[in-house]
Structure 1
């Protein structure tokens, strides 16, 4: 089999995976996560049910498609920090950059998606589990560094817990701001086939409201993040400086 053939096959797999994810998201937003079945998703994406589960072993993974990146995120940021930077500064720097780019991994998923998560006990529980995995990954990274430098692994785990607690607080803050940005009953939004939302009774090009909401949310979250990480500075600001 040629390299070109392998490349085309991988591209086809990525396209199939993305198509399944896109159709699943549309169904979740319209019907709700718990009322949507794998069979519904397979029919919408025009694939077999087994194809859906091959790409997404857990139904929750269809909604939380960035879960692997989310779990590894804090540990990766700390592992990749440059010389002279502490663990706290690395996390703060990356978080503020994620706010600036409206990164869906930290929760910039839109009000309708936030409501879909909030309405599903299954997804709420899965998010809690992912946050725990995220903390464990960070603790493993800091512990390995501490042991390599002859430091105390207990302290490393304590620092990881503080950073993870700040991370959870900011995620919850963003989630609540997204929910608060939901339109009123008279100004509902409906998901389009391409995953965007449009106001009922308004043209597709009228998206200034969404942009304004995102800008206000990002500005508020930036301020909150700076305060939260600032409060940690006296305790762990000098910890794990590379």
Structure 2
């Protein structure tokens, strides 16, 4: 791990923001938020932060246990010397060390930010980051390159095996037939008995049907008939004027 990455993990272990931790670690103020988000996405970084926090908690607990034991001696001496005021103050301080009474002077009792003022470079943390910082390696260990090469060799061997012996469950072009035949004809549907009887009955021919269409001769005969009837009405014997009524 690089020095800046170690400083970033140290700053993050104090529960500060990722952008502030990146600035404290010495990264560029431009894109500090993006740099912090990228570093926090790395498993090695998160693991190192947890390790630092665990070490700090263990160290604090050791100091608290030692101080608690020493305060116990003070309380015992205060009772023996009949100094109750000193004993009460020692008891109160012992309760603060054990976390029963909260005190801002004790680091693990105070979870707020000690510096509430915004950082002067806070307006630059949303800008694009420094591209040179992308090449910072996450870890420097002897077996890192060897493990990477071994993993690449395993992936290459698996790809070659898949190419030589493809999965039989997958369809390839070789599985397709050379000539595609048409779809089979559908089976004939069953014809009902009534429809079959109607089909078997002989149909009347077109000549047996009467033709009601009017021809030119029929029209001429109808006209002559109308003229004859009208002429009969106009003859003197058939036409008698009606006398006017008085």
User: TM-score, normalization: structure 2?
Assistant: 0.21
Larger Rg: 2
Higher helix share: 1
User: Which one scores higher on RCO, CA 8 angstroms, separation ≥ 6?
Assistant: 1
User: TM-score, normalization: structure 1?
Assistant: 0.21
